[in-house]
Structure formats: structure tokens, C-alpha cells
Structure 1
Amino acid sequence: MAKRLVQTLTQAGITNQRVLDVIQRTPRERFMPESLAHKAYENTALPIGNGQTISQPLMVATMTQLLIQHDCRHVLEIGTGSGYQTAVLAQLVEQVFSVERIAQLQYQAKRRLRSLDIHNVATRHGDGWEGWKSKAPFDGIIVTAAASELPAALLEQLADGGVLIIPVGETKQSLTVVRRFGDEFEQQRIGDVRFVPLVKGAVQ
């Protein structure tokens, strides 16, 4: 089933073999409710509770491929969710710092990652709009929810030469790649996407 998903991703334009290998060996069924496990290797987003979803594998692969084209070792993830994107990243970079606004999801993701023997991830319950200042700067930042505008704190926490992958927009959202060069930020729009909104504040 995982092989079939990888074939789908390849046909959809994912070319990075490291990304494809990691997706093939990461058990997606472990990151969703048991009742939906039979859909784990379909290329679709699925609900994980608390009004949140586990992203479509193609979107996980696309964002990860965009990120690791650059030399990203120290990565911030905004929106831990189920922990699936976190697990994929953790197998491709040195260290992942992941912020989740919903305490229950953060706790569950932390347990899942530990059970899969993934230990180069630090998770935190907090407001994704604020990033994780004490761990900055980051070579790469990946945001798994759509922001109404580019969050100023994330731009500040991006290292010089770093890359931010983020969906931006409300009614219409665009996957955007932001590169930092000193005090200048260069933006590139990749295409239209649909994500849950990046909500301010944290909840228990």
C-alpha cells in the first residue's frame, strides 16, 4: 500500500528520492484514528479530531521537498497536528522543533514519535504565530496551517539564507516559499492549496 502511494506521488511530480523513501517507510496509520487506518495510504487529508486534519500525503511530500532543496538542519514546524509531517521531517533533518496550539494533539504526537523511536524532535504547546524564539534562528520553517498574512515572528526567526514554506490566504490560499537574504525576503508562489486556518492563541 505504501508503495502504491509512492507511485502516486511520483506521478504527481515528487522527484526527491529521499522524501519518497521516508514516506514509504513512515507508518501513516499510526498518526490517525484506528477507524480511519484503512485509508492511511490514500492520497487524501483525513480528520484527526479537534477540528484538525492529517495533511494529504502529496502536500506533505511537496512541502518537504521544497524545504530540503535547501540546506535545512535546524527546522521549525508550526502545527504539529498528528505528528506525521513532523516524523517525515525528523528523518531528513538534524533537529525539528514543533509547536502545536492544541495541548491534546501535542501530547498525542509526542507519544507517537517516541513510540516510533524518533528522538530528534522537541515539541511545545503554544501559539504558532509566535514561533519558538528561544530556539531561533531556523534554517527552515514549515507551516501546516494557512496564515492570513506572513507572521512577523516567523520572518524574524528565519536565519539568513533560510527558507519558510507556508500557505497564505483566507478564502483563497497560496503555498508560498519565502527566502531570507539579510533584511530582504523573496517570495515565490507555488500554487493554490486548502489548509485549516493558522489560529492565534493556544488551547488546553
Structure 2
Amino acid sequence: MEKEISKYSHIRNEMVKKQIEARGITDARVIKAMKKVPRHLFVNEALTDQAYGDFPLPIGDQQTISQPYIVSEMTQALTLSEKDRVLEIGTGSGYQTAILAEIVYRVYTIERIHDLYIRARRLFDKFKYHNIVTRYSDGTSGWKDESPFDAIIVTAGAPAIPQPLINQLAIGGRMVIPVGNRYVQEMIKIYKDEDGITQTSLGGCRFVKLIGEHGWTIN
């Protein structure tokens, strides 16, 4: 496995240089994680040679692995530290989860699609990510028992910000979430303090729908 990972290290470094650093990502911890995590092992084998391209890729069940730049942008926007506890809504391929796990103390990640949940868990075990805790559930309700969280990242587009996630964000906590209609969204960064929340736009984006009680319905 080590040989397989090192084979792609040059391609991965080029991805970071041309797609990520060139677009203004400066957080050294994010850059280090993006250089380390073998993205090609988080996509279907048939798409391995496209894994480091500047675009999202399908991972099955009508879901995608996000464009590398988007992963780095969302991660940097959370202004993470090694002591943070982070909630991720939408495990998907597990790639974003692994990037977070390289930076923070613990990642709690929720996936509603069972096949993706099982596949991601196997990868986390394979790479010995002992600081990742997984859950098969409706992510729009969050993970109340483990709250509050220092940061929350939502990797699917929501019609509105789910109130349970706001409730589960710690004072001083940050959230990044795409919000909009079914086809296009705006990336919103939220900061929570004693007076409530403030929102900042990070620009337009396009994600799959956030399905759940506090998101879109399946139909």
C-alpha cells in the first residue's frame, strides 16, 4: 500500500501547487493534509487516474467527492486547531473526513447512505484514523450527545441552515455550509458567539442535496 500511495505523491503535490495554493489557500495545516491524504484511494478504482483532477467525481448512490479546491477552501474557512472537535455532515467518500482528521483532535462524521458509510469506515480502519467517529444516521439532526462542537462542516446543499446544527455549535464555533436551491448554492460561513450567529458568504458553489428532516426530502 505504501508503494501505491507514494506512486501518486508527485501528482498530489502538483495538485496542491496548481489547484490549491495558486488559488489562495495558505493554511499550512490544510496544505500539509492535502499533500498527505491519498485521494485516489477514496474514489472508485475506475476513476483512479482522474482522482487529482480539478473537478468533483461520482462515488455512487448519486453522490460525489468534491473538487480538491473546494475541500481545501471549506477546511481553511473553519480555522481549525489541533484541539478542535469537528462534526461533519455527509461522510461520502471519507476524503474530507480524512483531511479533517489530519488536523484536529477528533472528527464526528454522519452518513445517511449505508453503502457509503460502510466503505468509508473500512478506509478509516485501513489508514488507522483512530480519531474519527462514524455514525449512520440523518445528519441534518446533528449529533446532540457529542455536542457542542468547535466546528461543523456540511458537505451537501441545504435549503436553509438546520437549527439543530446551530444549537450544537459551541460558543466561538464555526460552521461552513452550502445554502440555496436544489441546483446552486452559496457557501456560508457561520460564527457563533454569545449574541447569536453572524454569516459571511464565501461565494457560489454546487453540491448534491442535503437530505433529511431538516434538509430536502428525497423526492
Q: How far is the alpha carbon of 1:72 from its aligned partner?
A: 6.1
Conserved in 2, the CA contact under 8 Å of 1:168 and 1:174? yes
Conserved in 2, the CA contact under 8 Å of 1:70 and 1:163? no
Partner-residue secondary structure (3-state), 1:150: coil
Partners in 1 of 2:78 and 2:156 — Cα distance? 16
Partners in 2 of 1:198 and 1:27 — Cα distance? 26
**How many residue pairs align between the two structures?**
203
Counterpart pick for 1:25 among 36, 58, 61? 36
Counterpart pick for 1:97 among 85, 103, 108? 108
RMSD: 1.6
Partners in 1 of 2:184 and 2:37 — Cα distance? 31
Partners in 1 of 2:103 and 2:82 — Cα distance? 11
Partners in 1 of 2:105 and 2:78 — Cα distance? 13
For 2:7, the equivalent position in structure 1 comes to none
Conserved in 2, the CA contact under 8 Å of 1:177 and 1:190? yes
Between 1 and 2, higher relative CO (CA 8 Å, sep ≥ 6) is seen in 1
User: What's the CA shift string for 1:70-123, capped at 9, x where partnerless?
Assistant: 786110000000000000000100000000010110111010011011110000
Change (3 A) 1:73 1:190: same
After superposition, residues 3-152 of structure 1 pair within 5 angstroms as 3-8=13-18, 9-69=20-80, 73-152=84-163
Q: TM (normalized to structure 2)?
A: 0.89
Q: How far is the alpha carbon of 1:183 from its aligned partner?
A: 4.7
For 1:190, the equivalent position in structure 2 comes to 202
Q: TM (normalized to structure 1)?
A: 0.95
Structure 1 segments (4+ residues) deviating >6 Å? none
Partners in 2 of 1:163 and 1:25 — Cα distance? 25
Unaligned runs of 5+ in 1: none
Partners in 2 of 1:11 and 1:100 — Cα distance? 32
For 2:191, the equivalent position in structure 1 comes to 179
Partners in 1 of 2:81 and 2:207 — Cα distance? 24
Partners in 1 of 2:166 and 2:110 — Cα distance? 16
